[in-house]
Amino acid sequence: MRPRLTLWQGLVHLAAWTPAVWLAADALTDQLTANPIQAAIQRTGKTALALLLFSLACTPLSRFGFRPVLKVRRALGLYAFLYAALHFSLFIGVDYQFQLDLIWADARAKPYLWVGFTAGLILLALAATSFQWWMKRLGKNWKRLHRLVYLAGVLVIFHYAWAKKGNFFTLGGEMAQPALFGLALLLLLALRFRPKARFRPQAR
């Protein structure tokens, strides 16, 4: 018999589905600005990034004593991949209507698309191997593979910042949000990889 979801897990699942429901409601009521396709692509991309950062925050939060977050870490990562896949599907299927020649021409002029595609491949690999069967099969290599999530986070933020117009270092143009996401990731990296104090019992 499968264990029931706790209230905390239920709230996380509800929160993760809320952006999708909100996006669908806005699409059905023509509330997606003058460029609905672009708005949908941007919203799914930012949601994917936010959920990815939330999943990365689980380990530092558990070290500060909030252990329940470990039960939703994998779910948050999978939701991040879900929104990233939706982001990619809207871009290639709705915006470009699977016209590969146009996509290739645009990709040569906009290198940030390759950065985002690389991040998406990493998230795909992590989502596909996030289950117990793969953990047992890969052994120690499973942890090494899943550490690539931090690289995916860096790539996603660069993809987001590069796609915006402005100066990333002076926060000119539309760089404020990518910069905030970048600072959040730096903080999580610092907390995740901080040196651990080692305590040894004193010899009698």
Residue type, position 154, single letter: V
Residues in contact with 92: Cβ distance below 8 Å, sequence separation at least 6, in sequence order: 98, 103
- Alpha-carbon gap, residue 155 to 148, rounded angstroms: 11
CA 13 to chain centre: 15
What are the tokens at 171? Answer: 């926060």
One digit per residue, the tens of pLDDT, for the chain of length 204 reads 455 778 888 999 999 999 999 999 999 999 988 899 999 999 999 999 999 999 999 988 888 888 888 889 999 999 999 999 999 999 999 999 999 899 899 888 888 899 999 999 999 999 999 888 888 888 888 888 898 999 999 999 999 988 876 444 444 457 788 889 999 999 998 887 765 544 344 444
Give the position of tokens 């590069």: 162
- Alpha-carbon gap, residue 17 to 83, rounded angstroms: 10
Query: Is 0.85 topped by the overall pTM?
Result: yes
- Alpha-carbon gap, residue 126 to 142, rounded angstroms: 9
Query: Of 32, 55, 29, 59, which is closest to residue 44 (Cα–Cα)?
Result: 32
- Alpha-carbon gap, residue 47 to 53, rounded angstroms: 10
| 117, HSE (Cβ side, Cα atoms, 13 Å) | 10
Helix, strand, or coil (residue 159)? helix
What are the tokens at 17? Answer: 């589905």
- Alpha-carbon gap, residue 70 to 31, rounded angstroms: 36
Helix, strand, or coil (residue 96)? coil
Give the position of tokens 């998406």: 120
